[in-house]
Amino acid sequence: SSELTQDPAVSVALGQTVRITCQGDSLRSYYASWYQQKPGQAPVLVIYGKNNRPSGIPDRFSGSSSGNTASLTITGAQAEDEADYYCNSRDSSGSHLGVFGGGTKLTVL
Amino acid sequence: EVQLVESGGGLVKPGGSLRLSCAASGFTFSSYSMNWVRQAPGKGLEWVSSISSSSSYIHYADSVKGRFTISRDNAKNSLYLQMNSLRAEDTAVYYCAREETYYDILSGYSLWYFDDWGQGTLVTVSS
């Protein structure tokens, strides 16, 4: 089955830019989607497709992709961006199974 | 406004069964594939199962295949997850999520993502 690999933890100074990455073979066929999850809350979609934000997601969130790596960039991180971030895609082998990355804990200093 | 409300969670003994429900509103339920995603305490998200809009296509994670059954009733705008032979490792918050999927002809990439989630229901498997 396909796997998506994320760094377990990343930190960023308030107002600075941070990039969270996700690697996996499926990302050569599928765009990653990105979810933000705060403690005790359900995940929220923040980026999907090439670089699309759902309504209500601030434009400081952006996405990119190259080869087998997808990235979520937060430009000008805010305190409220401190959360867990998960990437997701579908297995590209034809199994139609879903897969999530292990998650990245973002700390805003 | 899209709303997804899970119910049916609780405490169950190992080997027992439980049926989760997800009530959908605010959108045309019968037009969307739906998924279950779970999260064990202190752990990451794990995709569990998906079902297409007409129930024609169903997929399961290897960890639940043969024990869990996903189903839906479009007349009742409801999604279900029948969980049998439950194990301690099935302990998790279970979320239902609405799926969007399409193929981007320009880039040659496919998109598959969950644009709305319920608040989750906790399943605890313990003796």
Q: According to the model, what pLDDT value does residue A93 have?
A: 84
Interface test with A, best of B94, B112, B114, B121 (most A CBs within 10 A): B112
Q: In this predicted model, what pLDDT tens digit does every residue of B3-60 receive, in sequence order?
A: 999 999 999 999 999 999 999 999 999 999 999 999 999 999 999 999 999 999 999 9
Q: B108 CB contacts (<8 Å, ≥6 apart)?
A: none
> Which residue among B35, B100, B115 sits closest to A98, beta carbon to beta carbon?
B35
Nearest partner of B78 among B24, B1, B5, judged by Cα: B24
- In the DSSP assignment, the letter for residue A83 is E
Q: Is pLDDT of A1 > 60?
A: no
Coil, strand or helix: which one is A25? helix
Contact A30 B110 (CB under 8 A): yes
pLDDT attached to residue A43: 98
| Per-residue pLDDT reduced to its tens digit, B78-112 | 999 999 999 999 999 999 999 999 999 999 999 99
Could you read off the pLDDT of A46-92 as tens digits, one per residue? Answer: 999 999 999 999 999 999 999 999 999 999 999 999 999 999 999 88
